[in-house]
């Protein structure tokens, strides 16, 4: 019975890619095009100011690539790595909270969720409804 749901896999991957990609584009845009607040905030978190542009590039362009389903695995690799760093270095604050103590504490779970979803897309690919499939004949 549940095997009949397999027909929805391409749609499911498309929805995940578009939702995550849109969120990333929305978060990357201000880092690239209205960066002043971030240029002050990043050094306070222990990152050089130039990393604002690196983060914005990964989020904005990586998110756009996810939406299109183009170079999905490569984009997801960089997104997953960036979100892992954001979670560990900024949101989780190692040593201050236990593994589950972060849940519900001001959005700490958000970069973790993005990291894991990007990792999933890196491993399974964009799916059948994607430019990767159309251009590169990547299997879904």
> Is residue 12 situated within a structural domain?
no
Asked whether residue 132 carries a pLDDT value surpassing 50, the answer given is yes
Question: Do 56 and 32 touch, CB atoms closer than 8 A?
Answer: yes
DSSP 8-state assignment for residue 95: T
Domain region containing 84: 31-136
- Residue 6: inside a domain: no
In a domain, 80, yes or no: yes
Q: Do the Cβ atoms of 91 and 111 come closer than 8 Å?
A: yes
Please give the tally of structural domains in the chain: 1
pLDDT score, position 48: 97
Does residue 132 belong to any structural domain of this protein?
A: yes
Q: How many whole angstroms separate alpha carbon 57 and alpha carbon 52? A: 9
Tell whether 123 is covered by a domain: yes
11: which 2 tokens? 């749609």
Please report how many Cα atoms fall inside a 13 Å half-sphere around the Cα of residue 49, on the Cβ side: 5
Higher pLDDT, 101 or 83: 83
Flag whether 121 is in a domain: yes
Six-digit token pair at 67?
A: 């939406």
- The answer to whether residue 100 is domain-embedded is yes
pLDDT in tens, 37-63: 999 999 998 999 999 999 999 999 999
Least confident of 10-24, 37-51, 58-72, 94-108: 94-108
Report if residue 125 sits inside a domain.
yes
């Amino acid at each position: 019975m549940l095997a009949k749901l397999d027909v929805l896999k391409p749609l499911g991957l498309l929805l995940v890619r578009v939702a995550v990609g849109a969120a990333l584009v929305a978060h990357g845009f201000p880092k690239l095009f209205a960066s002043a607040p971030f240029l002050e905030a990043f050094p306070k978190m222990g990152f050089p100011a130039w990393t604002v542009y690196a983060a914005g590039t990964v989020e904005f362009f990586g998110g756009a690539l996810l939406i299109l389903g183009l170079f999905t695995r490569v984009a997801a690799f960089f997104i997953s790595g960036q979100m892992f760093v954001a979670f560990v270095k900024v949101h989780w604050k190692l040593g201050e909270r236990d593994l589950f103590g972060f849940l519900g504490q001001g959005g700490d779970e958000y970069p973790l969720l993005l990291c894991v979803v990007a990792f999933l897309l890196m491993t399974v690919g964009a799916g059948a409804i994607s430019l990767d499939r159309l251009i590169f004949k990547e299997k879904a």
